[in-house]
Structure 1
Amino acid sequence: MSRTTQRIGQLITTFGPGAMVDLPTRSVLIGGLDRWEMRDGTFRVIEEDRLAARLEAMLKAAGRLDEARHLSLRTPPLLEDQPGTKAPPGVQVTVFPIWFVVDAEDGGPQDNAEDANRERRRRLVKWGDLDPSGKLKWIDDNGRKRTVTPIRFVGACEKGHLQDIDWRWVVHGQDHCREPLWMVEKGTSADPRDVSIRCDCGRSLSLDQLFAPGRLGPCKGERPWLDTPDPAGCNKALRLLTRTATNAYFAQIATVISLPAASDELAQRVQANLSRLQECDSAAEIGVARKVVPELKAALEGWSNQEVWDEVQRQITQATQNLSRSPKLAEFDVFACGRPHIGEDTRQARLFAETLSRVTWDPDSDPICSGIQALIAVHRLREVSCLYGFTRFEAARTAFDDELEDIQLKVDGAPLSSDLDWLPAVEQFGEGLFFHFDPASVADWLVRTGTQERAARLSAAYRTWALSRDIDPLRLPGVVYTMIHSLSHALMSEIALVCGYPANALKERVYALESLSQPGRFDKCGLLIYTATSGTQGTLGGVVAQHRMIVPIFRRAFERLHVCSNDPICSDHDPGTTLDDRALQGAACHGCLLVSETSCEARNQYLDRAFLVDTLASGGSAFFEHAWQRTTS
């Protein structure tokens, strides 16, 4: 069979270990990291010590990483790095599920023209029953080859375990029967009540019965992507899962923006090879590594083993000390430092930004931007995203302050490997704009009566939603995050119209950091809108160039938000009347604030345009209220 290729970014975000992927003739399960072909020369180590150190601490605390091991970040296998005719590296997969449905109905395809309300029978067969010459077709009793399709339903549990449904046991229980099984459908809808599994012995059950708790039996703790069951077993009951549904796989991804590299040359070279050097336990072992690895010998030429060892220890200590700080806090401090130039303007730089003078982007001191203290043009940035687990049925909650604890809902994160010492990651380069909010303006906005009333209404809905899912409501984001997040979506929609990038290429990173010494005061608030790709296309300057148009962009964004095309339904939405994800939204819908989910760091949750401008149903809570009134009067 010819190899199927995927973009390396897809192996991080969508089709990582444990994910089911539809191929033309079968469905497969992406293998765990133990089954990725990571030969020498087939991957690159991604150096990002802040992210690696935090993930290492989190995974060790969760028992997923041996205490004696150091974690490294690597790219997935790279096809283009293979010389000559050597077989390219790949990711092994497993055929899953092994139950198939024959495409043609019983009696032949000519029956398809009959009344849609009649019952339509299709044979259920297993992988081992298919034609051994290619395992693509099933040969019926008359010798005809019938095409087959993987069955849509599998069994899974809240711990991420996955297994085929034993359809014979489901239909017959403990009674043994070898008569043919059929999927029987009627009507034209996808209602489970219209689909049943029937045996020629006369027994049957409808799919809606399979949703009953415990009907599929206990979970066996199977992890087919790892080839080994969970050694801890499982105390959950299997649940019916549609393999192509969006809740079949939610990747757990940690993302950071790289900070400027070390200043002196030795620090830069050690930083570029830290994942290898930190495996050494002494200066003598550094010397051995330099002899064995030609790349290290060339990179560290001119420095003694002791000098290299001392620098390695300094960087490891610094990374350990940074574990107590949120990655977003370190990023905010760099962007909001006020220096004219941040980082170096070189091709190899991880970050280069420029703090713009006010006259450059707001020459008339327009009141519409009065809440923005500074604008930083980020000419070059490096984003590193790493996959460290996944969930099923329900996405793990977004860590809004970028803490990486494995915060659970009613599901558990599943491991990517049974013997972990590295994680798949991807680096992307891009550009963007960073908005530094004025802390005094944020503090004044928070004490307004209208803000507090709107905040109380949303907070009550947040709390009800969180308690219904056994989440600590104190860990949910506050109204400052919601306000900045809403502004981000409004600006991304406007910037996408003029920057030259498609809307789904823009991303956001929201900084709403509460003061540690003064609880309730948000003194570090910012917003990064950026684009990043694996090549150089993300650094063409289309976003940065919009800094001179920020005032018109703000004005157009607020004009669109003032009245939504779905008003008054949108503005009248009461989050307290629902327990689904709409409980996490105020006045927000696809007509005003929702954007592509690839652009949003919070899955289009925690949005409310009433925190930006007055709406038809709410007033007095808008951060830009007075500026908007003065601008439009």
Structure 2
Amino acid sequence: MKHPDGQVRRSQLLNTFGPGALIDLPKHSVLVGGLDDWRGTGALLDEPRLLQKIRRFLPDVQELREPPLDPDSQNPTAGVTVWQFPEWFITQDFIKGRARRLVHRRAVRNGQIEDDDDKKKKYAVVPVRFVRACPKGHIGDIDWYGLVHEGEPRKPQCQKLWMEEQGSSGDLASLWVRCDCGKRRSMAVASKREYEALGHCDGSRLWLGRGHREECDEPNRLLIRSASHAYFSQLLSVISLPEQDDPVMDAVAAEWESLQAVDSLAELQMLCKLLKKVETALQGLDNTAVLDAIRTRRNGGAASSTGNPSPTVKDAELEILTAPTDPIGRDHPDSVFYARVFTPVLTHQGGGNQTPSPLAGEGWGGGASAINRILL
């Protein structure tokens, strides 16, 4: 497998560069592919409440996993698939007045195009900064010939396309697209919705690969590829909290990879016979309680699979945060959460002796001040 073209952090995949997002890599502009095309399998994410919350919108989701990560960066077997996009490029140093060639990727070799008159001359190209998108989220390349000719059929003399820049402002009104046939059109027209200069959407879902389309007849809109409003991720989140101590649920969680598909007592008994480690982990536990725990966990932490989990997510978080258990979690670098209960002591304002803080000398630096006031 070839060396990857770029790198992003896992947090960026969740917040900024999810499926369908545009990324500028050092040598390419790409569109992040759908999850089905990602290579490798990420680590299982053990967050039942988050799974429960996601199933409200995507009921068929069975499990959550982290983005695939391969520690061998020189010979990766896992990673995020991206598609080259856009497929139209513009020359960087083609000297002909202030016009630059617009070329399709088929004419590009190693980031360059050849001069038609002198094959030894090559010109560097970069991805064009304009694409089309519709209000439903579909995205695609602009039909540049269609834009210039206002939807008329392409003629034999329509060979090359040029991007002309007039003035030094760099705004759309100063950019024109010209064809060899003599027709030209301002990019400012493409930005005005009333003209519908970019035609209507064809429903392209390029992040899923070529040929993936759905019905859509929305008018296309001009989108600047690097614009900050080009992509917004949809986030669902929960507070990552340790569950209250439950030996049955703890045992199920420890062997979840093996137990997640079990749906009957007979299947559970058969699995225990086949896998010694599962039998050992569940030793001494009631099989019915284990099966209930499996179903609860598979349902995202809800006691039933009614498909209406939304009220229970925050309730479960509040139940853990207000539980009498002290402390919650572990005071350790590997722990995702740690909290302990203490009784605050308020100091008196305006003189008098201050009451020592109960936090002093208990791992809080020894000199922590008492609470002066509580803001609600």
TM class, shorter-length: 0.7 to 0.9
**Residues 308 and 222 from structure 1, CA distance in 2 versus in 1: closer, same or farther, beyond 3 angstroms?**
same
Aligned to 2:165: 185
Following TM superposition, by how much is the alpha carbon of 1:33 offset from its aligned partner in structure 2, in angstroms? 0.5
Aligned to 2:139: 162
Structure 2 residue matching 1:198: 3-state secondary structure: strand
1:101 is aligned, of 77, 85, 90, to 90
Conserved 8 A contact 2:42-2:68: yes
1:319 to 2:305 alignment: no
1:223 to 2:222 alignment: no
User: Letter of the aligned partner of 1:54 in structure 2?
Assistant: K
Aligned to 1:234: 216
Paired with 2:275 and 2:181, the residues of 1 have a C-alpha distance of 67
1:363 to 2:365 alignment: no
Paired with 2:366 and 2:137, the residues of 1 have a C-alpha distance of 44
1:76 is aligned, of 58, 67, 71, to 67
Aligned to 1:175: 153
Following TM superposition, by how much is the alpha carbon of 1:545 offset from its aligned partner in structure 2, in angstroms? 7.4
1:148 to 2:125 alignment: yes
**Residues 79 and 175 from structure 1, CA distance in 2 versus in 1: closer, same or farther, beyond 3 angstroms?**
same
**Residues 355 and 11 from structure 1, CA distance in 2 versus in 1: closer, same or farther, beyond 3 angstroms?**
same
Paired with 2:55 and 2:39, the residues of 1 have a C-alpha distance of 23
Aligned to 2:265: 283
Residues 563-602 of structure 1 aligned to structure 2 (within 5 Å): none
Paired with 2:142 and 2:276, the residues of 1 have a C-alpha distance of 52
1:137-191 Cα distance to aligned partner (Å, 9 max, x none) = 1111222111110000111111111111110111112221332111111223231
Aligned to 2:23: 21
Please identify the structure whose Cα radius of gyration is greater: 2
Paired with 1:94 and 1:325, the residues of 2 have a C-alpha distance of 39
How many aligned positions are there?
351
Paired with 1:26 and 1:54, the residues of 2 have a C-alpha distance of 36
1:255 to 2:237 alignment: yes
Conserved 8 A contact 1:342-1:353: yes
Paired with 2:243 and 2:261, the residues of 1 have a C-alpha distance of 21
**Residues 316 and 149 from structure 1, CA distance in 2 versus in 1: closer, same or farther, beyond 3 angstroms?**
closer
Following TM superposition, by how much is the alpha carbon of 1:287 offset from its aligned partner in structure 2, in angstroms? 4.3
Aligned to 1:354: 340
1:49-78 Cα distance to aligned partner (Å, 9 max, x none) = 111012112224xxxxxxxx4421101111
Structure 1 residue matching 2:145: 3-state secondary structure: helix
Conserved 8 A contact 1:262-1:268: no
Conserved 8 A contact 2:296-2:303: no
Aligned to 1:36: 38
Paired with 1:151 and 1:268, the residues of 2 have a C-alpha distance of 54
Paired with 2:253 and 2:324, the residues of 1 have a C-alpha distance of 24
Following TM superposition, by how much is the alpha carbon of 1:338 offset from its aligned partner in structure 2, in angstroms? 7.7
Paired with 1:189 and 1:306, the residues of 2 have a C-alpha distance of 73
Paired with 1:47 and 1:93, the residues of 2 have a C-alpha distance of 27
1:588-611 Cα distance to aligned partner (Å, 9 max, x none) = xxxxxxxxxxxxxxxxxxxxxxxx
Following TM superposition, by how much is the alpha carbon of 1:345 offset from its aligned partner in structure 2, in angstroms? 2.7
Paired with 2:7 and 2:277, the residues of 1 have a C-alpha distance of 30
Conserved 8 A contact 2:204-2:213: no
Could you list the runs of 5+ residues in structure 1 that have no partner in the other structure? 61-68, 108-118, 367-375, 377-540, 555-622, 625-633
Residues 293-332 of structure 1 aligned to structure 2 (within 5 Å): 296=278, 299-300=281-282, 303=285, 305-315=287-297, 319-320=302-303, 323-325=309-311, 327-332=313-318
User: Letter of the aligned partner of 1:185 in structure 2?
Assistant: E
Paired with 2:372 and 2:171, the residues of 1 have a C-alpha distance of 49
Paired with 2:366 and 2:139, the residues of 1 have a C-alpha distance of 48
Following TM superposition, by how much is the alpha carbon of 1:2 offset from its aligned partner in structure 2, in angstroms? 3.0
Structure 1 residue matching 2:236: 3-state secondary structure: strand
Conserved 8 A contact 2:39-2:77: no
Following TM superposition, by how much is the alpha carbon of 1:365 offset from its aligned partner in structure 2, in angstroms? 6.3
1:441-468 Cα distance to aligned partner (Å, 9 max, x none) = xxxxxxxxxxxxxxxxxxxxxxxxxxxx
Paired with 2:165 and 2:221, the residues of 1 have a C-alpha distance of 21
Paired with 2:287 and 2:325, the residues of 1 have a C-alpha distance of 37
Paired with 1:545 and 1:245, the residues of 2 have a C-alpha distance of 47
Which deviates the most, 350-359 or 183-192?
A: 350-359
Q: TM-score, normalised by structure 2?
A: 0.81
Greater fraction strand: 1
1:52 to 2:51 alignment: yes
1:3-62 Cα distance to aligned partner (Å, 9 max, x none) = 122222211111111111112222111110010112xxx4210111111012112224xx
Paired with 1:216 and 1:333, the residues of 2 have a C-alpha distance of 54
Structure 2 residue matching 1:281: 3-state secondary structure: coil
Aligned to 2:111: 136
Following TM superposition, by how much is the alpha carbon of 1:324 offset from its aligned partner in structure 2, in angstroms? 3.8
Aligned to 2:14: 12
Residues 437-452 of structure 1 aligned to structure 2 (within 5 Å): none
**Residues 162 and 292 from structure 1, CA distance in 2 versus in 1: closer, same or farther, beyond 3 angstroms?**
farther
Identity of aligned residues (%): 35
Root mean square deviation of aligned Cα: 3.5
Aligned to 1:425: none
Conserved 8 A contact 2:204-2:214: no
Conserved 8 A contact 1:334-1:342: no
Could you list the runs of 5+ residues in structure 2 that have no partner in the other structure? 351-358
**Residues 258 and 87 from structure 1, CA distance in 2 versus in 1: closer, same or farther, beyond 3 angstroms?**
closer
Conserved 8 A contact 2:344-2:371: no
Greater fraction helix: 1
Following TM superposition, by how much is the alpha carbon of 1:291 offset from its aligned partner in structure 2, in angstroms? 6.5
User: Letter of the aligned partner of 1:74 in structure 2?
Assistant: R
Paired with 1:245 and 1:12, the residues of 2 have a C-alpha distance of 18
